[in-house]
Structure 1
Amino acid sequence: MTALELADIIGIICFALSGFLIAVHYKLDILGVFISAFLTALGGGMTRDVLASKTPYVFTDTTPVLLVMATVLISLILKLHKIDDLEGKTVFIISDAVGLVSFAITGALVAIDNEFNFLGVLILAFITAVGGGTIRDILINRVPSILVSEFYATVAIIVGLVTYGLHLLGLHSLFTLILVFIAGVALRLLAYYRNWHLPTLSK
């Protein structure tokens, strides 16, 4: 299993869980729960593949769909939907952080494989990481997390930048990507618990 495949699997599972928890928080019906999970887990990757002139892999490989369905079903069996204030619970915060960093890495790797330049790598890392969640937020009529959340999308950009830097330095390996993953998740969690935000222009 390649680093790209591993990061993709981790990202899909974690973002499917994140989408499930958001859907429960907003009291969506069972169809809405599955749609939220699918959009969060697969929306960014589909957008990434289109930009990279590739057929979205969810149309050619059943693994991503099965992962999302299994994640939702297991969450239902464990009765996670019966826990109050799921969006503020540790399970949501961690799953969202892991999904964010995993997908930022996969976006950067796809861009590097397609010989994109610096800007292309950053954009694909960004879109893969936050694209699905943004589509989901718009669908359920809430302000997308990337616009208001504490140091959220910035983490995806930093992870993409570091991944590209490793590629340029010839240090691109599974080991170094694992280190980037750990550091990215730690940064996101630190930003959440320390309530770090980018400056705003409001009074």
Structure 2
Amino acid sequence: MFEVAEYIGIIAFASSGFFVAVRNKLDFLGTLISVFLTALGGGLIRDIAVDKTPYTFTHNMPALTILIVMILLILFKFQKKDSIENKPLFILSDSIGLISFSITGALVAIEAGLNLTGVLALAFVTAVGGGIIRDVIINEIPFVLKTGFYGTIALLIGLMLYVLDLYDLISFYTMTMVFFAGIVLRIIAYYKKWAIPML
């Protein structure tokens, strides 16, 4: 379950990182950095937090997956220039990455025996950490700080998995339900413009 969610998140966040790079007119190296940070940054922070060798440093597939996604997106861009910054496509890929990485962060925290605070923290950091680093590097206000409900969804996913674990209900089926429920919630929240009230 962890690996499935991890690779779904990597593919989705690599795509959204690519779209952000194209929107900001970065060169090839800048695009590569944007893609890698978005797809892998949160997972690196997550694994370091639980004193674990980062998954990316012990498996070759994450980096290979990112390179394949990037090559396909470059080819796709050249063939259909109007489609690469298609907003619904960006929102969908970003939503899939958000939910997938929230799940992997929560699972790692649960496996490490962390309490509710730890599960919420790792779900949040895994989901938004890479995007925050990317946005800071390209001199943008991090997306999660402008869209209050974005980070809230990561916390809700963490909470749901913590509760499921308390009752020994974590399985492929419950993970699938949480995954799709999270995506639906994210998309509804985006189009309904849900947000946390400003102070």
TM-score tier (shorter): over 0.9
Contact kept in structure 1, 2:17 and 2:39, CA below 8 Å: yes
Identity %: 51
Within the candidate set 58, 61, 76, 1:60 is matched to 58
Contact kept in structure 2, 1:121 and 1:164, CA below 8 Å: yes
- Residue of structure 1 equivalent to 2:98: 100
- Residue of structure 1 equivalent to 2:7: 9
Matching residue's letter, 2:81: K
Q: State the Cα distance separating 1:82 from its structure 2 match.
A: 2.4
Contact kept in structure 2, 1:108 and 1:122, CA below 8 Å: yes
Residues 80-95 of structure 1 mapped to structure 2, 5 A cutoff: 82-83=81-82, 86=85, 89-95=87-93
- Residue of structure 1 equivalent to 2:155: 157
Contact kept in structure 2, 1:102 and 1:181, CA below 8 Å: yes
Change (3 A) 1:48 1:7: same
CA distance in 2, matches of 1:35, 1:82: 21
**Alignment gaps of 5+ in structure 2:** none
Calculate the TM-score normalised by the size of structure 2: 0.96
Q: Which runs of 4+ in 1 moved over 2 A?
A: 80-85
CA distance in 2, matches of 1:120, 1:200: 26
Matching residue's letter, 1:25: R
- Residue of structure 2 equivalent to 1:33: 31
Residues 121-136 of structure 1 mapped to structure 2, 5 A cutoff: 121-136=119-134
User: What CA RMSD, in Å, does the superposition of the two structures yield over aligned residues?
Assistant: 1.3
Count of matched residue pairs: 198
CA distance in 1, matches of 2:76, 2:152: 33
Calculate the TM-score normalised by the size of structure 1: 0.95
Q: State the Cα distance separating 1:85 from its structure 2 match.
A: 7.9
Q: Name whichever of 174-183 and 149-158 sits farther off.
A: 149-158
CA distance in 2, matches of 1:91, 1:163: 27
Matching residue's letter, 2:76: L
